[in-house]
Structure 1
Amino acid sequence: MTVALRHEGDDRVLPFAVEGLDVRGRVVRLGASIDTILERHTYPAPVSRVLGEAVALTVLLGASLKFEGRFQLQTRSDGPVDMVVVDFDTPDRVRACARFDAERLAGIAAEGAPSTGTLLGQGHLALTIDQGADMARYQGVVALQGQDFQEAAHQYFRQSEQIPTFVRLAVGEEFISAEGKARHSFRAGGLIMQFLPKSPERMRQADLHPGDALQDQNITLARVEDDAWTEAKVLAETIEDHELLDPNLSSERLLYRLFHERGVRVFEASAVHEACRCSTDRILAMLHRFSPEDRRDMVGDDGRIGITCEFCSRHYDFDPATVEAGIEASQA
C-alpha cells in the first residue's frame, strides 16, 4: 500500500465565526485520511469523488456534536453508486465505503464525466445521530432526486433544522512527481456556514410553498432574507474548488480571504483521522447473533469462516469449531 501524502493543515476541522454577519461555521481539509479510505478500496475515480464528497460532509456535520456518539450518513438509491455509508465517531474518527455497479458506471462514464447526482440517482439520504444504547436515535431523511450532496444538505437544513445554512464541498486529486514516478492522492474539503442571530425573528425562513392553494388568487410569495445572511452567502459563494483543496492555502488564510472586511475569528481546530471500529471481538459477537445453520453456510471450501470488513478491507479468518466452542462457553 502506498503511503498517503501529508501536508500541514490537513485532516482537521477549523471552527470560525463572523460576528459582524451573525454566522458560524467550520472548514474541513482532508488529506491522508480520505486518501487512505479511497486508496484502500481502489474505487474508480467517479466513485472516489462521490465518496469523498460524502466524507467531507459527514465530518463537517459530525464535528459539531458535543457528546460521545456517532454521526452516520447513508444513501440508498437506484444510480450506479447505489449505496454510500460514512461513520463519524466523535470526536475524530471516520470510516466510509461505497457500493457501485461497475458495468453501469462504465456505460455512464463513457459519455463524459458524470455528476454526483447522476451517479446517485433517485433514492434517499439518511443522516443519523446515535448517542448510544441508552439514548434515542435521531434521523433525518432527504429524498435524492438527482442532486449532489451539497444540495441534499441544503434541502435537509431547509426542511428539518430550519436554520439558514450554506454548504460547499470539493474533491480532487493531487499529483506529485518523485523519483521519476507520478504519485497521486485524493483530497477533499468543505465549508459549512449557518446564520445564527440572537433574534429568532431574524433567523426565520420563508414557509414552504402552499402548492395550488394560491394559484387562483394571483398572489406571489416573496422570500425575504436577512441582509447579513445574504452578504455572508455572496462572500462564501466565491469559493473555488482549488481553494478548498490547495494544501498551500490554509483554512485560516481562506477564511481571511473571504471575510476579512467583516472580521473573522477562528477557534481551536480539531483533528480527524481514518479509523475503523472492526475487531476480532466485534466480528465474533456478530457471528454469535447468527443461527448455527447460517454459520455453517459461511464455511468456505477451505473449512474456515472468512469475513472481510467492508470499511477497511481487513480480512478475518476463523476456525468454525473454535467459534462454536466460544458460543457454547458464553451460554454456559
Structure 2
Amino acid sequence: MSTVPDLTHGADDIVVPFHVDELDLRGRVARLGRSATTIIDRHGYPPEVSRLLAEATALTVLLGSGLKFDGRLILQTQTDGPVRMLVVDVTTPDKVRALARFDAGKVAEAAAAGRADPASLLGSGQLVMTIDQGAETQRYQGIVSLDGQGLEQAADQYFRQSEQIETRVRLAAAEELVPGENGPSRAWRAGGMLVQHVPKAGSAITRDLAPGDAPDGTPLPEPDEAWAEARALTDTIGDDELVDRTVSPERLLFRLFHERGVRVFDAQGVSDHCTCSRDKIENIVRSFTPQERHDMVEHGAITVTCEYCSTSYKFAPAEFDPAE
C-alpha cells in the first residue's frame, strides 16, 4: 500500500508539478495565500471582483509555471460584463502581479441578483494569452471566446485550440477570517489544478508512490479510458480542497491518484512582485510631448500611479522641461 509522504514545506504561494504515469497524466497544483491577499488588498475590490481576480491569478500562475524559458505570460480579458478587464502578468519563474477594471454599480447589481459567477461577471468578449520571450523574439498570442463561459472552460478551450492537448483546469478562490492579536482579519486564498493527458509521457518516469494502491495485476487503462478516469477524478475536487490551508497540494494529489501512483516534483515558489520603478515611469513621462506633460501637472507636480501595485511616483515638471 502507498503511504502519504512526510512533506514539510509550506502549502501556500507555491506551484507543485506532478505526473501519474499509469494514466499518462501530467499536471500542476497552485496554492496562493499571501500573494493573492496582497494583490487584492492594494485595490479594495468588491468580494465578487476579488474572487474572480484571485482565480485568474491562480490560472495564470499555473500556465506560467509551465514555461521553460525566461519571459512573461500575460492573461487579459476584454469583455462587456460588469468586470470588463482582468490582467495578470507572470514573469518567470516566480513573480506575479494583477489588476481588474470593473463597473462597481453593475457588479453590485449582479451580486444582488445572484449572478456573480465568473461567466456572468465576465460577459461576452475574449480571453487573450500572450507569451513574451523578450525583445528579440516575436510574441505569441492565443485568443479564446468568453461568451457564456468562465475561466476554467476558457482555459480548457485554449489548450484544445493551441496545443491539441486534452486538458482539465479547476479553479477556486475564497475569503477567510484569520485570527490575530487585534482580532480576526480577512485574507484571500486561491487554488487551481491543471491536468493534461500526454500519451507515452509516463514511459520515462519513475514513481514516488509506486505502484499505487491498486491490487497487483490491475490492468492499465486504455488511453481514452485513462483520460476519462483522470478527468473524472479531477472533477471530484471540491472548491474547499483547492484552497484549504490544512490540505497540502501533495496530500490532495495523494487523495486523488493514490490507486495509480503519483510522482510529485519540487515546489516552485510564487510571490507578488511589480516590475514598475521610478526610472521606468520617468522614461514613460519623457515619451510625452511638452504640452502633454504640462497638462499632467496637478498641484505643481506630475504624479503617476502604477495600476498594478498602486505605488505613486511624483516628479517636478522642471525635471523634464526646465522652463516650467
TM-score, normalized by the shorter chain, greater than 0.5: yes
**Correspondence for 2:165:** 163
Looking at structure 2, the residues matched to 307 and 62 of structure 1 have their Cα atoms a distance apart, in angstroms, of 29
Structure 1 residue 198: Cα displacement: 2.5
**Correspondence for 1:285:** 283
Q: Deviations over 1:179-219 (max 9, x none)?
A: 462211000000001011129xxxxxxxxxxxxxxxxxxxx
Structure 1 residue 113: Cα displacement: 5.2
**Correspondence for 1:104:** 106
Q: Deviations over 1:38-82 (max 9, x none)?
A: 011110000001101110000000000111100000011101100
Looking at structure 1, the residues matched to 200 and 23 of structure 2 have their Cα atoms a distance apart, in angstroms, of 11
For the pair 1:312 / 2:314, whether they are aligned, the reply is no
Looking at structure 2, the residues matched to 9 and 177 of structure 1 have their Cα atoms a distance apart, in angstroms, of 18
Alignment of 1:288-307 (within 5 A): 288-300=286-298, 302-307=299-304
Looking at structure 2, the residues matched to 261 and 138 of structure 1 have their Cα atoms a distance apart, in angstroms, of 39
Do the aligned partners of 1:284 and 1:323 also contact (CA within 8 Å) in 2? no
Looking at structure 2, the residues matched to 187 and 135 of structure 1 have their Cα atoms a distance apart, in angstroms, of 35
Structure 1 residue 147: Cα displacement: 1.0
For the pair 1:229 / 2:227, whether they are aligned, the reply is yes
Do the aligned partners of 2:115 and 2:121 also contact (CA within 8 Å) in 1? no
Looking at structure 2, the residues matched to 149 and 185 of structure 1 have their Cα atoms a distance apart, in angstroms, of 22
Structure 1 residue 168: Cα displacement: 0.3
**Correspondence for 1:145:** 147
Looking at structure 2, the residues matched to 318 and 229 of structure 1 have their Cα atoms a distance apart, in angstroms, of 57
Q: Deviations over 1:211-261 (max 9, x none)?
A: xxxxxxxxxxxxx97111111111111100111111111110000000000
Aligned length: 294
**Correspondence for 1:323:** 320
Q: Where does structure 1 differ by over 4 angstroms across 4 or more consecutive aligned residues?
A: none
Please state whether the residue corresponding to 1:238 is helix, strand or coil. Answer: coil
State the TM-score, normalizing by the size of structure 1. 0.86
**Correspondence for 2:19:** 17
Do the aligned partners of 1:27 and 1:189 also contact (CA within 8 Å) in 2? yes
Taking structure 1 as reference, are residues 272 and 168 closer, same or farther at Cα in structure 2, changes over 3 Å only?
Answer: same
Looking at structure 2, the residues matched to 294 and 55 of structure 1 have their Cα atoms a distance apart, in angstroms, of 34
Q: Deviations over 1:103-136 (max 9, x none)?
A: 1112222212511111110111000000000001
Taking structure 1 as reference, are residues 19 and 121 closer, same or farther at Cα in structure 2, changes over 3 Å only?
Answer: same
Counting aligned pairs with the same residue, the percent is: 56
Please state whether the residue corresponding to 1:239 is helix, strand or coil. Answer: coil
**Correspondence for 1:217:** none
**Correspondence for 1:78:** 80
Looking at structure 2, the residues matched to 323 and 124 of structure 1 have their Cα atoms a distance apart, in angstroms, of 39
Q: 1:134 aligns with which of 133, 136, 142?
A: 136
Do the aligned partners of 1:171 and 1:245 also contact (CA within 8 Å) in 2? yes
Which is bigger in relative contact order (C-alpha 8 A, separation at least 6)? 2
Alignment of 1:174-189 (within 5 A): 174-179=176-181, 181-189=183-191
Q: Deviations over 1:249-291 (max 9, x none)?
A: 1110000000000000001111000000000000011112212
Q: 1:60 aligns with which of 53, 59, 62?
A: 62
**Correspondence for 2:264:** 266
Do the aligned partners of 2:27 and 2:195 also contact (CA within 8 Å) in 1? yes
Looking at structure 2, the residues matched to 305 and 18 of structure 1 have their Cα atoms a distance apart, in angstroms, of 55
Looking at structure 2, the residues matched to 225 and 57 of structure 1 have their Cα atoms a distance apart, in angstroms, of 26
**Correspondence for 1:221:** none
For the pair 1:119 / 2:121, whether they are aligned, the reply is yes
Structure 1 residue runs of 5 or longer lacking an equivalent are: 1-6, 200-223, 326-332
Q: Deviations over 1:131-183 (max 9, x none)?
A: 00000110000111021100010111122211000100000012133346221
For the pair 1:33 / 2:35, whether they are aligned, the reply is yes
Structure 1 residue 297: Cα displacement: 1.1
State the TM-score, normalizing by the size of structure 2. 0.88
Looking at structure 1, the residues matched to 225 and 287 of structure 2 have their Cα atoms a distance apart, in angstroms, of 56
Looking at structure 2, the residues matched to 323 and 97 of structure 1 have their Cα atoms a distance apart, in angstroms, of 29
Do the aligned partners of 2:99 and 2:308 also contact (CA within 8 Å) in 1? yes
Structure 2 residue runs of 5 or longer lacking an equivalent are: 1-8, 202-221
